[in-house]
């Protein structure tokens, strides 16, 4: 007889329960084919086989995140909006940065939403394996499903927030939805790949080194101030082009700046000799770094994904004995 674990995922079924008010309620049940042997990082074939499970886990995690909350999804808006309000007030009214630019507020908001997704998705996915030890000990399935579902759950929130920003920005005439905006999905895919690469590596290491959570908080704070999120990138490039180019090698900064300049109207012009606005739809950071140098942050993203997959594969066989 197949053993069932209510509220837990087995090889054949994933079930989540809500026990509020002493009453158990099943929220979701998914059937999936059991994986053979210990789970491996999802390949193309395995991903297709478990796609339904990944999707349902991600959606369920998204719903459970706001279960029992009065405001529900609105909480996911409050954090970036509070950071935006505080940052905008400090830089505009205290440091007089961005006051002359009518688009500075929207540029800042776009950057904060992008970085908030990176920060929260990696932090949540980091504990996705360590927090499901009961599952890993009792069932055989690709463990990376847990990481993928966790990152996709955060990605759902991010897409909703970005959609709201684009709608509002377009309504007030500050969104430039021309040819350049068509590059935005590519930058978002790049951001998600970066998140997934970090998440795989961090989630595997976190099983063995729990201090990593505190270390990662410090790292993300350093990235926040090193990626031109809360201040205009022009502060780095103005009079210090080399400094701007070095900072642009950071893939987080590259993605944020490219999305800003693909979507928001009234950005700083391209460097001399590069057309702007109705010109060719090229990534803005490519014009700053140069075509060849622009490959550096892209290569870093690919390297981080490869490293994350490698770490996960190496440590995965030891998950059960350490949970």
Domain boundaries, the chain: 42-322
Q: What is the pLDDT of residue 230?
A: 78
Low-confidence ranges of the chain (pLDDT < 50): 1-40, 268-281
Q: What is the pLDDT of residue 264?
A: 85
Q: What is the pLDDT of residue 26?
A: 44
Q: What is the pLDDT of residue 14?
A: 44
Q: What is the pLDDT of residue 285?
A: 66
Q: Which two tokens stand for residue 259?
A: 């999305």
Q: What is the pLDDT of residue 235?
A: 73
Q: What is the pLDDT of residue 229?
A: 83
Say what the pTM is. Answer: 0.79
Q: What is the pLDDT of residue 98?
A: 66
Q: What is the pLDDT of residue 289?
A: 63
CB 150, CB 44: distance < 8 Å: no
195/146 Cα distance (integer angstroms): 14
Torsional sign, CA 250, 157, 221, 228: positive
CB 323, CB 44: distance < 8 Å: no
Q: Which two tokens stand for residue 191?
A: 């951001």
Q: What is the pLDDT of residue 139?
A: 75
């Amino acid at each position: 007889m197949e053993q069932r674990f209510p509220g837990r995922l087995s090889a054949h079924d994933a079930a989540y329960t809500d026990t509020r008010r002493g009453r158990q309620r099943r929220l979701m049940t998914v059937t999936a084919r059991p994986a053979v042997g210990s789970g491996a990082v999802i390949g193309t074939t395995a991903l297709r086989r478990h796609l339904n499970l990944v999707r349902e886990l991600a959606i369920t995690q998204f719903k459970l995140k706001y279960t029992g909350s009065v405001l529900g999804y609105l909480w996911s808006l409050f954090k970036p909006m509070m950071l935006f309000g505080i940052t905008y007030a400090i830089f505009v009214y205290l440091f007089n940065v961005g006051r002359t630019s009518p688009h500075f507020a929207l540029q800042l908001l776009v950057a904060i939403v992008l970085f908030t997704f990176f920060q929260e998705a990696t932090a949540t996915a980091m504990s996705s394996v360590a927090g499901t030890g009961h599952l890993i000990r009792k069932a055989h399935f690709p463990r990376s499903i847990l990481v993928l579902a966790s990152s996709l759950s955060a990605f759902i929130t991010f897409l909703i927030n970005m959609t709201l920003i684009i709608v509002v920005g377009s309504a007030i005439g500050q969104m430039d939805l021309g040819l350049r905006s068509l590059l935005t999905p590519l930058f978002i895919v790049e951001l998600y790949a970066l998140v997934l690469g970090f998440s795989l590596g961090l989630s595997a290491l976190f099983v063995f080194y729990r201090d990593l959570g505190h270390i990662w908080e410090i790292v993300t704070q350093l990235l926040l101030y090193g990626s031109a999120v809360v201040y205009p990138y022009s502060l780095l490039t103005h009079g210090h082009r080399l400094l701007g180019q070095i900072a642009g090698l950071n893939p987080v900064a590259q993605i944020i700046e490219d999305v800003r300049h693909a979507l928001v109207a009234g950005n700083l012009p391209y460097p001399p000799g590069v057309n702007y606005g109705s010109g060719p739809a090229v990534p803005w950071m490519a014009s700053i770094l140069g075509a060849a140098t622009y490959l550096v942050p892209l290569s870093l993203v690919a390297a981080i994904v490869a490293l994350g997959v490698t770490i996960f594969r190496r440590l995965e066989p030891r998950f059960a004995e350490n949970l």
